Amino acid sequence: MRTGTFAPDGQPTQEQPFRKGNLACSHEWLEDVASLDEVLARLDALRAADPAHCYLSTLDDLDQCSYTCGHASQDERLYLEVPEGFDWEDPVQLTAWERDSLLHRAGQLRNPELMQSWEQVCGTLCTIGPDVDALLAANRAPEQLLDDVLYLQRVPVAAQDLAIAGLPNGYFSADWDMFQNHAVIRHLGQAHGYAFFGMGASWLGFARAQPPDAAMARQLAAELRQLYGKGREEVLEHGGWAQLAALLAQRRTLLLGYTESFAETLDLGEGD
């Protein structure tokens, strides 16, 4: 695995060849990642060395993630108006506004008038049977989701669930938006002990200290069945939910799609 740190201005150099794009909190980049465990270990090391910040990795399709992140942050519930006379060419002003915008988004996530519950999110994503197959495939081999380059975000918030404020996403109307994603993040943390660690263009990543026991894995799979299948008989009756429960009892990670047709982000062969 190769890694490097972004310069404060985020401009590419010979040593740091990548642009931050719309991901202003980007702190490090990772390349040639062999396993998801490598990513989790690096995130753990960063948190241990810098407990004042939360850390979050990108996952799938970095370019699309950056593109939709820029648009998702324009949501009127999240957007912080630019001050009068703002100079976009002044790096000091730009850095200050980006930080204020992030903290504004984090505050909005805790706004009781905007917060959503897990129950409200259940059934809101249009899913079909292949999406269950995709959940199985992604959780069986999560490395297939990872882009060639990952950006690790350094987010100045006090709680890991709020780290999504540094990587807002869910832009298209048929996707879960930032508030719906935050409801999923909160529930999985509070009810099942999964910490939010990653976000891509179509997938969310979670990890526990240890795999759940068999009973908890079955309960989680039952809740995910309702999350994705409420009101959709094809999804509710899919045979993959029992397989997912058995799989989750063997792993400490959990990968969930949050966009319409997220199964299309995986190359699902016959039998998946």
pLDDT tens, residue by residue, 66-91: 999 988 988 999 999 988 888 988 88
pLDDT score recorded for residue 65: 95
Whole-number Cα distances in Å, 269 to 59, 139, 226, 265, 266: 21, 15, 26, 13, 9
* Confidence (pLDDT) at 150: 98
**Which residues, 6 or more positions from 158, have their beta carbon under 8 angstroms from its beta carbon?**
54
Q: How wide is the angle at C-alpha 223 spanned by C-alphas 217 and 226, nearest 5°?
A: 145
Q: In this predicted model, what pLDDT tens digit does every residue of 109-128 receive, in sequence order?
A: 999 999 999 999 999 999 99
> pTM score, two decimals?
0.94
Q: Which of 252, 216, 266, 255 has the alpha carbon at shortest distance from 41?
A: 252
**2-5 vs 26-31, strand pairing mode:** antiparallel
Q: Residue 177: CB partners within 8 Å, gap ≥ 6?
A: 72, 75, 170
pLDDT of residue 271: 43
Low-confidence residues of the chain, pLDDT below 50? 270-272
How far is the C-alpha of 120 from the C-alpha of 143, rounded, in Å? 31
Q: Quick check: 168 and 98 in contact, CB under 8 A? A: no
Residue located via tokens 């062969």: 269
* Average pLDDT of the residues of the chain: 94
pLDDT at 272: 42
